[in-house]
Amino acid sequence: MPKAKIAPSMLSSDFANLASEAARMIHCGADWLHMDIMTYKPLFAHQFWAYLDCHLMVTNPLDYVEPLGKAGASGFTFHVEVSKVFDCGRITWYLVTENWQELVQQIRSKGMMPGVALKPGTPVEEVYPLLDGENPVEMVLVMTVEPGFGGQKFMPEMMDKVRALRKKYPSLDIEVDGGLGASTIDMAASAGASCIVAGSSVFGAAEPAQVISLMRKSVDVAK
């Protein structure tokens, strides 16, 4: 099982002071800084000096590879589902099945680590082709809430996906995102998660360093 990585979610930080918030998290022991990207802000990465774990919820991730690479992103995680908005305003999701290998190749060419994310309603089997084929992704992000905003309740039923991935891919980096805190970290760690994204439970804590340490210990004990 890979080394534990704790990634505070900058979605829960003080947006007016991103650089100082990033420095505070690194000082508290964070390994990564998790960046949720729904619209692109080209200068953000230049403010930081840490591993930037970027989770993209966008319609065409290929368009974001070059600008994020130039901005200094470290990891580039795209969704296996891609949204499409029709004229009536209805949003549907379809699976990335055609150009993912080109996308992964482009991500790597810019020096970033490719990963794939899946929403709670998507079967875990949908990411297997991206792990078993040529030029596979290096990380899977299992969403434990519906993506889009922070503060949601952890969905323990998503741990079945984590267990399935850990059994099939023992050395894979498996990330979980949504509702992770002191009361849920053990469930995620025991299921096999190695990368932990935590937002309000870290940024809202009186002692963020203690929360980060607790999460790391839980993952290490579960190995």
List residues with catalytic annotation.
36, 177
Report the distance separating Cα 61 and Cα 138, nearest Å. 17
For residues 112 and 68, the answer to whether their CB atoms sit within 8 Å is: yes
166: Cα within 13 Å, side-chain hemisphere: 22
Long-range contacts of 2-5 (CB under 8 A, 24+ apart): 2/171, 2/172, 2/173, 2/194, 2/195, 3/194, 4/31, 4/194, 4/195, 4/196, 4/215, 4/216, 4/219, 4/220, 5/31, 5/32, 5/173, 5/175, 5/194, 5/195, 5/196
CA of 99: how far to CAs of 61, 68, 82, 200, 221, in Å?
A: 11, 19, 12, 35, 39
In this structure, the number of other CB atoms found within 10 A of the CB of residue 60 comes to 12
Residue 93 phi/psi, 5° resolution? -125, 140
